[in-house]
Structure 1
């Protein structure tokens, strides 16, 4: 797995780090991300639903990009979205479901979280569990080489941009999101995958030093694997999910008293 060089540029100002302390009775926590759920990918949605409802873990932490696009909580009444909300709500009655926004679903708000029974997980968050301190993030804020994206990210995360966008009619917001996805797909198609921006190693280590963590778990890059970023500092990258195009790619990172392990999604069978 490649990583951006430490000389990519000055690290950004440190963000605010929240903490999440796991209850002492928990025995396992699952981490997933980058499911990009959408109506056109029913097999991926079914795999997500099966794992959410049948995993043996006490909690599932979704570290961003649950949806291919989320244009506002009023979209939850659509036929496809309503099914996902019902699945999340049922799962949340059995175990803790925590959600961290990604670059595709940063507009998820309190209304959707409440309807699903999900716990909001700020980005970044330090998880305290099983005697460990683990840094959790979606990962996009650390992809510093993609300066155009970082400028876009800074703009759309402002309250003014959010309010103005959400004031548009739902149909218009859906149309805008589709055009943005098409532009993103066209941009990626013109680049080799290994040239896509990755997490900046120096900035990631800076975050971990500041939080007293030695392991960072993130998604976003679609490059699953484990990597030592510097002596004593490791990142674990989550698998993106794609079960509709023959690849059958899906995976779960689990943390328990035994440490980290990568497991297949639960099927309920």
Structure 2
């Protein structure tokens, strides 16, 4: 079965939407059980009227047929349960860009274009995972161009699931071998970010990817950078997970347990 993926790009909320939540970079994986548990609890209990998952929900996604594996099935069920009571949108990240129409149908979540916009409370926001804006990371941008190519994706997805999983495990092992090296996440290019905002006619952006959570207002534009989630690190002070909540009163950052 192959279901054509459709993507929303311009959303307009009415008076029935009062609370909107944004999260990204949860990096769901069997190897991070505390993080997965915090995310599942949030999805089950959130008081939001709409939820946006802005990329890298999963540490890796090798195709929608992976959703039947035990851990992925659990995550699929969590999204489906939330989408049954409030609208959920999901945007591709740099790790889960192979999420497609079958996953959307299985969960009831809507796929979101990148970039996309949402209008509510008299304001319009630009929504993006953020990786396309990190132009200084040239090796990554070359990799991104390759793996986002439809021909490349078709060739990859034509392989058996076990072969795709083996390749993903190999890539993860290489990444784990570098964990003792300092990790530096490149930031978005401000010139490009402002150009995107200008095309949309707004001055506010929400993105993830960089693992540099915070809100910044500068030079006529504002960005809200989403937190990555990690409740499994052995360093207590390094554990974090945030929800960015948007209401008519503005933005606030909450722990998942408060949202």
Give the TM-score normalised by structure 2. Answer: 0.91
Q: Which range moves more in the overlay, 173-182 or 101-110?
A: 173-182
Q: Which residue in 2 is equivalent to 1:148?
A: 139
Q: Which residue in 2 is equivalent to 1:11?
A: none
Q: Which residue in 2 is equivalent to 1:77?
A: 68
Distance in 1, matches of 2:68 and 2:49, equals 28
Partner SS, residue 134 of structure 1: strand
Q: Which range moves more in the overlay, 146-155 or 180-189?
A: 180-189
In the alignment, which of 229, 236, 239 is matched to residue 241 of structure 1?
A: 229
Q: How far did residue 177 of structure 1 move?
A: 1.5
Alignment of 1:93-242 (within 5 A): 93-185=84-176, 189-193=180-184, 196-228=185-217, 230-242=218-230
Q: Which residue in 2 is equivalent to 1:47?
A: 38
Q: How far did residue 180 of structure 1 move?
A: 2.4
Q: Which residue in 1 is equivalent to 2:3?
A: none
Distance in 1, matches of 2:58 and 2:220, equals 34
Distance in 2, matches of 1:51 and 1:101, equals 20
Q: How far did residue 184 of structure 1 move?
A: 4.1
Q: How far did residue 112 of structure 1 move?
A: 0.6
Distance in 2, matches of 1:140 and 1:73, equals 22
Distance in 2, matches of 1:77 and 1:145, equals 37
Residues 192/54 of structure 1: CA separation in 2 closer, same or farther (3 Å cut): closer
Q: Which range moves more in the overlay, 159-168 or 184-193?
A: 184-193
Residues 187/153 of structure 1: CA separation in 2 closer, same or farther (3 Å cut): farther
Please give the root-mean-square deviation of Cα atoms over the aligned residues, in Å: 1.7
Q: How far did residue 185 of structure 1 move?
A: 4.8
Distance in 1, matches of 2:211 and 2:41, equals 22
Distance in 1, matches of 2:130 and 2:172, equals 19
Q: How far did residue 82 of structure 1 move?
A: 0.8
Q: How far did residue 48 of structure 1 move?
A: 0.7
Q: How far did residue 187 of structure 1 move?
A: 5.7
Distance in 1, matches of 2:86 and 2:168, equals 32
Q: Which residue in 1 is equivalent to 2:4?
A: none
Distance in 2, matches of 1:184 and 1:131, equals 43
Could you report, residue by residue, the CA deviation over 1:54-84 in whole angstroms, capped at 9, with x for unpaired residues? 1111011000000000000000110111111
Give the TM-score normalised by structure 1. Answer: 0.88
Could you report, residue by residue, the CA deviation over 1:209-229 in whole angstroms, capped at 9, with x for unpaired residues? 11111111000011101123x
